[in-house]
Structure 1
């Protein structure tokens, strides 16, 4: 019991730096899996926790886009074996009405399982440091470490068609890529001749671009403030781009689409961008909201505009996916070259996590992936 010592990047308090520490990780319980982490993506949520903007208790270990190899399994695990290559994703309870309906991203205990507990669902810890309990179980994994303890529910085997993919291409599928692609393919489902706009050319937004580029739509327009990201968006399939530092994105989108896009994905998490995304929609259009600002932040929306133009605004968590089905499909698309995730990825050693965070903030790296 509690016999394995591992390396983890811990955060002591809001605003603190990541620090390399030796910690103790628990043995897997009956429904759990111990994974040797080969790669882990860095996501906005990890840095938001570090900044004190998202409700995860500190001190603790974050990281929620892990990929690796199964090291050991609990007695009740049936779908995974030691040695399997796996992708880690968000956790869910498995027994609420949404989970049993194969909609775990709408789990009624989503926040507790992925953020606020900082421990197993029953409150027991998974990590210790210097003999003291350390908050873990972030998104059911806390994978900024050499090993991660996850549940069978949020651990997905890599399909045979993708078994040769590098771990740094598999890791981002568990959250950021899944969110962007699923938002387009599972929720918005734009039809032929639709105009789609994406606000924010980060990892989630560009994943949405890659997904939309697979469809026979009329226009695919990306809005961002960095020209380098807009150039990448064009390489990934955008037909037009708008730099919102130099042009009003609402006016530009209405001009470029003769009245406004049919669908908008807002991935930036900036409240003013959300307001602009909604205003830019054409009559009857739908805005999918995936970017999350600090909890409690509100956006100034024009209610009359929403009502009079019959607009819809829908919040989307994790692309509204069922990971055991969706992640293998994503891995297959990456392996086939249809989803060029490698265009977004820049790798860093785990110990250089602060450099990765700075690269993400500056725009140098769209999807930093840490290699233990």
Structure 2
């Protein structure tokens, strides 16, 4: 069938709206009519070839839509179901079998390879192969053949354009707090970077009962929004030293938990220096392969502090995303405040606004 898609053809260049051919469903796939899809920082870094998904490619990995058809082996959804689309995983490696899908041993092949496991792509144009199955879905298109592992069934009364971004960014931030860090009551949480991932973490920190939630950014408008959704204090690092400010706001005790969404080595060092005893510094931001960070390991030894990396909020999407939707229904997770809608024709403006910090979460609505 013919679909309309935003195609990444050249590294760093704008996406191009094109008509493509979508092939037939495989037994383990679901044909989804895409209603909305978030635009994520990961889409931008793959467009720019920081991660090497083969171009040309259809990106997009925060899709939401309606099931049109299902492959013969699919058991979890049927035509007419409303679904969110999340990251793919193989389902059979040791990590997947242990319920740790975010750390799938075949993650790069499943999410960034641009091909099915059998080496084929679902998309083409006049014989030219276009990479598909980005995060199992490639949702920057009107329709997608999606692997069953990426599909999360949701109630039909949930607005797809609001919950679509749960597929990656917001889930990653919230899951990093609720699934991985699991902060103790009345603890101090610092979130560096208040984009979609950071905002998800801030809202989750409030749900978890953190008494002090410190949002860090270089945009005052984003810091104001962070306070609206749960931050108790803010730091703009354009005019303040991160370590000094965290220590001041914690009366010299340091932070219990720091989540960094920026992957900037100098900020990681500043955050580590501001940890309290037994504090934890966690990284969710994606850096270019080979990026290194340095930490002080002399005087800080006696702190007994921890550094860890987190992928996709350590979540099982089919379990965790419905929980976030329930928090949203209850008014405890106001993610709609982060979003601005764009038409597919304006998708490059969404990327630009996200990079400039004027839109926290662009959502393409078909």
TM-score by length of 2: 0.97
Shift of 1:270: 2.0
Name the counterpart of 1:105.
Answer: 102
Shift of 1:305: 5.2
Distance of aligned partners of 1:33 and 1:305 in 2 relative to their CA distance in 1, 3 Å threshold: farther
User: Does the 8 A contact of 1:156 with 1:324 survive in 2?
Assistant: yes
Distance of aligned partners of 1:305 and 1:8 in 2 relative to their CA distance in 1, 3 Å threshold: farther
Name the counterpart of 2:288.
Answer: 294
Alignment of 1:178-197 (within 5 A): 178-197=171-190
In structure 2, distance between residues paired with 1:171 and 1:241: 28
Name the counterpart of 2:298.
Answer: 304
Shift of 1:37: 0.4
Aligned residues: 365
Name the counterpart of 2:149.
Answer: 153
Matched, 1:43 2:36: no
Name the counterpart of 1:315.
Answer: 309
What are the Cα deviations for residues 220-240 of structure 1, in whole angstroms up to 9, with x where unaligned? 111111100111111111111
Name the counterpart of 2:353.
Answer: 359
In structure 1, distance between residues paired with 2:77 and 2:299: 50
In structure 2, distance between residues paired with 1:207 and 1:103: 20
Shift of 1:164: 2.0
In structure 2, distance between residues paired with 1:215 and 1:109: 32
Alignment of 1:169-318 (within 5 A): 169-258=162-251, 259-304=253-298, 306-318=300-312
Superposed CA RMSD in Å reads: 1.2
Name the counterpart of 2:135.
Answer: 139
Moved over 4 A (4+): none
Shift of 1:309: 2.0
User: Does the 8 A contact of 1:202 with 1:268 survive in 2?
Assistant: no
User: Does the 8 A contact of 1:13 with 1:59 survive in 2?
Assistant: yes
1:124 is matched with which residue: 120, 125, 133? 120
Name the counterpart of 2:81.
Answer: 84
Shift of 1:308: 3.6
User: Does the 8 A contact of 2:182 with 2:208 survive in 1?
Assistant: no
Name the counterpart of 1:61.
Answer: 58
Name the counterpart of 2:364.
Answer: 370
In structure 1, distance between residues paired with 2:315 and 2:259: 16
Report the secondary structure of 1:264's partner residue.
strand
Shift of 1:327: 1.1
In structure 1, distance between residues paired with 2:47 and 2:269: 27
Name the counterpart of 1:349.
Answer: 343
Shift of 1:109: 0.6
Gaps of 5+ in 2: none
What are the Cα deviations for residues 64-95 of structure 1, in whole angstroms up to 9, with x where unaligned? 00000001100011110001000000000000
Matched, 1:10 2:3: no
TM-score by length of 1: 0.96
In structure 1, distance between residues paired with 2:121 and 2:236: 46
Gaps of 5+ in 1: none
In structure 2, distance between residues paired with 1:77 and 1:164: 23
User: Does the 8 A contact of 1:40 with 1:67 survive in 2?
Assistant: yes
Shift of 1:299: 2.1
In structure 2, distance between residues paired with 1:279 and 1:38: 45
Report the secondary structure of 2:139's partner residue.
coil
In structure 2, distance between residues paired with 1:58 and 1:134: 7
